[in-house]
Each structure stands twice: as structure tokens, then as C-alpha cells.
Structure 1
Amino acid sequence: MNVLIIGGGGVIGQKLARRLVRDGTLDGREITGLTLADIVEPAPVEGARTALCNIADPASLAAVVTAETDMIYLLAAVVSAHAEERFDEGMAVNFYGVLNVLERARHLGTRPRIVFTSSIAVYGGEVCDPLTGETFLNPQTSYGTQKAIGELLLNDYSRKGFIDGRGFRLPTITVRPGKPNRAASSFMSSIFREPLNGQEAICPVGRDFPHYYLSPRRCVENLVRGAAIPEADLGQNRCMIMPGRSLTIGAMIDAMTAVAGNAPSKLIRFESQPEIEPILKGWRSDFRADKARALGLEADAGFEDNIRYYLEDDMPAGRAVS
């Protein structure tokens, strides 16, 4: 099986690649080729090749999506606040880029399997809690709208038999390693990551703000399992909510304290950020991922695990919680 990870330079793409190299198989088949593609050369992963790819450019895409490509993880995206600020960039990648991938697959005629990472940002507005797989999509941001369009296209290209698609609406992934990005949810990692590394962090919401989250480790596990779901089990809607858990910010901070002591929480400063407040006010937290759970995907046991996973997997060398 030849596997292509588009967005292979990102946190999840890198972790997924290392997991696939370690396993050596996917959906019961030997992985004979693994390529990480991104608009900037991805960091190397032993056992995988890297390639440059801009999905907004069909010619660039054609160089990495070939007749030999069996499985595509479509992780690349212009993230939430960035897509809101730079509408054209968001459309180029999140809409036209996704369409380009689907069109390339259609014209090859090889019907590759495509795993698409969508977002819980497809929900919002005047819909009632809890949010389920049957709740109609009502995004209130450009990013959410672009992801919703991607879901509809994935379903239709699958219905037509051009691809075997499946899409997963990701919770906020925390605790991410590295530096903050331009996602409105970036603070959901920085308020834990930076304090654990002895640095101050700003939290733009109060302790009672609830949010739906998932660890990077569990996200990767679910992407591996999701790729192996039998096509017949997916039903007429190929897209679903990935399991996560909802907690308040205060409960998450308390979980960090339970694992790492009192010092990190003292480095969190609560301060509003007007540039992202309109997005944050539209966030929902009561999600029911019944379909994905029934198909074998799982949430974290608790936020203490998210902190432990960061310390085990991603804590920079030489750093220690004091």
C-alpha cells in the first residue's frame, strides 16, 4: 500500500507518519511507500520520503497523487483565524485545494481511499444542543464553511464511486507541541504547553469556558482506525464527529496541576483577545460522537492523560516541570 499524507509537515501529519512507519501496515496491508507532502518541505521521518506540494496548484498536486497512490490523508488546511482574516487564502486551500485533490483522484480512475480531517467548526448558529451526526451543518466562520463544503464534496465523490472517502470532524487537539499557530484555538495548547515549559501564557477565556478536546496521540490512533473502517459500515454520510471530551478550562488547569504540580498554573494570565472573541463566542461544546464510537474510535480517558502524553511525547529535551 502506498500512503500519501498531505499536510505531512504539521504536528498530526508528523505523528501519523511515525505511527505508520512503526506499524508497517495499515488496514491489514503492508505499507510499501509513505510520502509526506506539504507546501514547505516536511521534517524528515525515517522510513518516509518527503515532497513539496501546494494543493491549490493542480500541477503541483499531480506530482504527488499518482496512479500508485492507494491512501491519501488530507490534513492540509488554512486554519480558523487565518481563514477568517485571509478569505482568499482559506478558499484557495480549504475549498479549491480539497476539490483539486478529489478531481485528481477522479481523473486517475484508481478510486483511492481518502481520509479527510474536517472540524467541529462546521457546527454553529441556531442549532440545538447536543450536537450529533444528525445535526445540520451551520458554520459561522469562513473556515467552518470551507470545511463543510469539503465534507459535501467528499460524500458526493464517494457516492459517485470516484473515491472511498471518510471524514472526521476533529475536536480541538491539545496539547500540541511547538509554537502557537493562527488557529483561534491555539491558546488551548499554549496555556498548558508554555507553563509546563516555565513560560507565561495568556488565556483569552475564563475558567468556566467549556471546550471539546482530544490529545494528539488519540487523534492519530483514531485516524489509523478510521482509515480501516469497512466502506459498507460508513453509511450514506461519510463524515462524522471524532470522539472527544468536554471540560471547562478550569477543570483542564486543575488536571494539569494534578499531574505537574502548582507551578505551571501560576504562569497562566487571563486576558481577553478582541481579535478572536467573535469566533470564541460561537464555539459549542456538547458533542455526541455516537457513530464514530460505534465504529471503534475513542476519546481520551481524562485531561490528565493529555498532560502526561505531552510530557512523554513532546516535552523538549532538557526541560522539566519544576
Structure 2
Amino acid sequence: MSILVTGAGGYVGQELTAALLHSTPPETIITITDVVAPRVPPSAAQHASRVRSIQADLTLPQVVDALIKDSNPYDTVYILHGIMSSGAEANFELGIHVNLDATRYILDRLRATMPGVKVIYTSSLAVYGPTPRGFVIDETNIPPMPSSSYGAQKLIVEILLNDYSRRGFLDGRAVRLPTVTVRAGRPTQAASSFASDIIREPFHGRKAILPVSRNTEMWICSPYTVVRNLVHARDIPREAFGETRSVNLPGIKVTVQEMLDALEQIGGRERRALVEERYDPDVDRIVQSWSPNFNTERAKRLGFAEDIPFIENIKQYTSQFAQ
């Protein structure tokens, strides 16, 4: 068995790589790529001999051609790489080049060299635009209408992946992730980065900026559950998806105030005091375009796991990463 993970240098990519190493047979080889050669996750260091870490600029066709070739077929390909929401909004050309053009080239290279390969694509709730207050989204009751370039790029790839799957070119699964928090590591270019920053940074004694109002509602999911569901996505029979390969993954709805209250409950007032409210209209415009209300019954029928309470999410983070 052979698995490819792009964007494996990021936090979710590292956690997914570790989970795959722990859950797959010992003969499985996992190739991990990013613009900087990803490290072997420390939590799976005992499996280092099964990892091929490759520095790869996936916007270069010749690099993709060397990575994806019929002499070295993959059983599953995870596509995690990309320019995040605020980055794609600030630099349209870069977002299009990385999120759309490079990803389409990867899909075309896969269908040419290993037709029918399983492809798991991390999409986003950003494919949906604003909805009426209280409206609950499922995969069929409202068409995606993104209000950001990032969401538009994700949706275009979803449509391609669905069509390629319909035609038998690939076996695609586009999983729409909630905002993933609490992420370890550094702040990112995602508009939602603050959702991790306001928890992570105070636990390391650092100030965090809150760019939206405290009554903002968000659809979030813990990294633990997201990674668990990414691993599960490869085990679902293709016929179970029906007419669409896109699925909204489970999450929970919280307000920013509830997140801050949980921070204070676990970390104390001194850590809560490290969060500074500094409104950013550009970030707020993007975040307010994301619905916090989702019906994920279809995902549950497909066997995806529900998320843990936010308090447990923070406890899990602090047990692994906090000082």
C-alpha cells in the first residue's frame, strides 16, 4: 500500500501522517510533501522508515510529474496543500495558481497515470456564502455560493472532483472541514486563524488578537476529530456517496465568547487577559460569510465521527502542547 499526502508540513498534515502511520499495515509507505520537506511527526518517529519526505513545489508541472508516475502508483492521495483564506483573498493570482491550477494539474496527472485512484480532498465550509440567520445547511438544501476567492477555488475543485468521479477517472471524496481549532504551531494566513490563536497563544504566555466580535458564531471541529475523519474517508465504499462526493463534516457551533469562557475556565484569568480585542473588518467580512449552522446527518450515515465538546478540545491541546 502507498499513500501520498500533500501539504504534509502543516499541523493537520503532520497529525494525519502520524495517524496513518499508526493505523495502516507495516508495509505501507507514506510519501509526504510540502514546499519545505516535511519532517516525520515525532509522535510516529518509530515508523520513520516507512516515510518518504519530499520537498515539492506543486505549482511546477515537472515536479508533479516526478511525484506522480505510473511506475510508483498510490492507493490513496490526500490533497491538503493550499493558500489559506485570507492569503487567497489578499493575493488572488497566488490563490488561483496554488489552490486551483496546481490542484487541477494533480488531478489530471493522477487520472492519466493511475485511473481510479482514491483522492481525498480537504475542502471547506467556505464554499457556502451567508445564509439567513438560523438557516441550517445540509448538502442538498442550498447551493454553495462562496463569498471569498478561497471558497470559490475550493468549490471549483469539488465540482471537478465530482465529475472526474462520475466518469470513473478518479474515486474522489471532498470533505468540507469546519474551522479546525485548537491548532498547534504558529498563526496561519487563514481568516479563522484567530480561533486557535486566542486559545493557543495564552497557554504559551503570548498575547493573541481577536479580530471579530465576541458574539460571532462559528462552526468548528477539534484537530483530533478532523484527523480521525480524514482517515475514515478512505474506507468508505465509493457507492455510498451517491450523486455527490462532497460531504459536510461534523462539528460543533460555539460563540467566540464561549471560547473565551472556556479559556478562562481552564487557563485562568491571567491567560484570558492575554487576548486583545482589535477589530479587523477584512477578517470579519470573511468570517461572517461562513454559516455556523450545519446538519451533518449524511456525514454520520457515512460513518464520520461527531466532535468532542470544546472544553475537552482545550484539555486535549493543553495535555500535549501547553507549557
TM-score scaled by length of structure 2: 0.92
Secondary structure at the residue paired with 2:120? strand
Aligned residues: 312
Alpha-carbon offset, residue 260 of structure 1: 2.8
Letter in 1 for 2:107: L
Query: What is the letter of the counterpart of residue 69 of structure 1?
Result: Y
Unaligned runs of 5+ in 2: 42-47
Alignment of structure 1 residues 29-44 onto 2, 5 Å: 32-44=28-40
- Paired residue for 2:293, among 283, 286, 289? 286
1:55 to 48, 54, 58: 58
Residue 302 of structure 1 aligns to which amino acid in structure 2? P
Kindly tell me: are residues 117 and 91 of structure 1, through their superposed partners in 2, closer, same or farther at Cα, counting changes over 3 Å? same
Deviation readout 1:28-65 (Å, 9 max, x if unpaired): xx652101011221123423110122222221112222
* Residues 231-259 of structure 1, C-alpha deviations (whole Å, 9 max, x = no match): 11011100111100001011112222333
Percent identity among equivalent residues? Answer: 36
In 2, the alpha carbon distance for the partners of 1:208 and 1:163 equals: 42
Q: 2:107 aligns to what?
A: 102
Match in the other structure for 1:93: 98
Whole-angstrom distance in 1 between the partners of 2:319 and 2:169: 41
C-alpha distance in structure 2 between counterparts of 1:219 and 1:125, whole Å = 24
Aligned to 2:311: 304
CA contact (8 A) 1:3 1:31 kept: no
Give distance in 2, aligned partners of 1:90 and 1:64: 22
TM score, norm. by length of structure 1 = 0.93
**4+ residue runs over 3 A deviation:** 125-128
Q: Which moved more, 1:40-49 or 1:298-307?
A: 40-49
CA distance in 2 between partners of 1:83 and 1:57 (Å): 19
Residues 242-251 or 48-57, more deviating: 48-57
Q: Distance in 1 between matches of 2:301 and 2:7?
A: 28
Equivalent residue runs for 1:213-232 within 5 Å: 213-232=220-239
Identify, as 1 or 2, the structure richer in helix: 2
- Which amino acid is 2:112 matched to? H
List alignment gaps of at least 5 residues for structure 1.
none
Distance 1:125 1:207, change over 3 A: closer
- Residues 1:24 and 2:3 aligned together: no
Provide the rounded CA distance (Å) in 1 between the counterparts of 2:317 and 2:69. Answer: 36
Deviation at 1:302, TM superposition (A): 0.7
1:106-121, aligned counterparts within 5 Å? Answer: 106-121=111-126
